Amino acid sequence: MRADRLLSILMLLQVHSRLTTRDLAERLEVSERTIHRDMDALSSSGVPVVAERGKGGGWGLLEDYQTTLTGLNLAEIQALFLPKPTHVLADLGWNQAFEAALLKLLAALPTANRQQAEVVGERIHVDPTGWHHWDEEMSAFPVLQAAIWQERQVFLSYERSTGKRVERLVNPLGLVAKGSVWYLVAGVEGEVRSYRISRVQNAVLMDAHCVRPIGFDLADYWQRSMVEFKANLPYYGVTVRVAPEAMSWLRYAGYFARIEQMIDAPDAEGWIPVSLRFDVEKAACAYVLGFGAQMEVIEPLELRDRIVQAAKETIALYTDVE
């Protein structure tokens, strides 16, 4: 393990030029004392590591020092050759470049490791799309991608989920693929916002340079925005009891229903109490009605009344037809 860690330190310093002891310790998940011992070991083996003190200092390598040692172990090779989401690479126009890069890497590996790398693609396939998949409108994607690489502002015409159309001058900060859906993350009016690319009606590349917030981290922003989005979703909680024969269909019957809790112990009639979450009452009503007499609402009571009314209206509709 220590040999792998020493190699990792060497590679990190080549890539980042300079890193503090704390940076290295956090990346490699060891103590700062361990990093100091590793630096002594590297220096003793002839690697020209140098330390600079003060603000902006840290560990580095002497200028122009490079090593050709790759030191890839079997797990690292297998991870590199794990199939990647092909639709993401295709959207970015990188599918051919990715294949060419893997081919060059494969050719550089020793024969034994090359065989292990080829086995990964034969035995593992990654399909990133869900069962519910819709093709997205991507006509604005090339302009937005160009804006990201060229660090230029974009004038957007955007249709919100409400159908309202707005226009914005934005500073593109990054692209995020969530499943098969792409989002543009951009700065606008002092804030950072996300725009679903399929709703971009028009995008015009501007000459003005993009203004990027200092220290902005795309992955960190996206994680925080997802937590905030989920926390602000509308909530409508329902408690039901479900007939045993309907339990296997519970998770398939409604796209907008989420199971929050399921009681293992059935009631006296063998029915299972289940807590469900919906966004609105209308979705809950439609979901419960789909089970007919195999699901009963315990609470809220107003939902029971709404279901009874909806059932009467359905009966009346088909009675009138007859």
* Out of 7-11, 72-76, 234-238, least confident range: 72-76
Q: Which residues of 128-155 are buried (b: 16+ CB within 10 A; e: fewer)?
A: eeeeeeeeeeeebbebbbebbeeebbbe
Which domains can be identified in the chain, with CATH numbers?
2-61 (1.10.10.10), 74-123 (no CATH), 141-231 (2.30.30.520), 236-321 (3.30.70)
In this structure, the chain runs to a length of 322
CA atoms of 240 and 274, how far apart (whole Å): 5
> Look-up: residue for tokens 């359905």?
314
What does the pLDDT read at residue 51? 86
pLDDT > 70? residue 68: no
Q: pLDDT tens digits for 113-148?
A: 777 787 887 888 777 776 666 678 889 999 999 999
Q: pLDDT tens digits for 17-41?
A: 788 999 999 988 889 999 999 888 8
Percent of the chain with pLDDT over 90: 40
What does the pLDDT read at residue 69? 52
What does the pLDDT read at residue 204? 96
* Out of 45-59, 146-160, 235-249, 304-318, least confident range: 45-59
What does the pLDDT read at residue 152? 96
What does the pLDDT read at residue 274? 92
pLDDT > 70? residue 192: yes
- The CA-to-CA distance between both ends of the chain, in Å, stands at 78
What mean pLDDT, rounded, does the chain reach? 86
Q: pLDDT tens digits for 70-106?
A: 566 777 777 778 877 778 888 888 888 888 887 777 7
Beta strands in the chain (DSSP E): 18-19, 49-52, 58-61, 152-159, 165-178, 181-188, 191-196, 200-209, 236-242, 258-262, 272-278, 295-299
pLDDT > 80? residue 58: yes
- Confidence bin at 320 (pLDDT 50/70/90): low
Please check whether residue 14 is in contact with residue 67, taking contact to mean a CB–CB distance below 8 angstroms.
Answer: yes
CA atoms of 161 and 243, how far apart (whole Å): 37
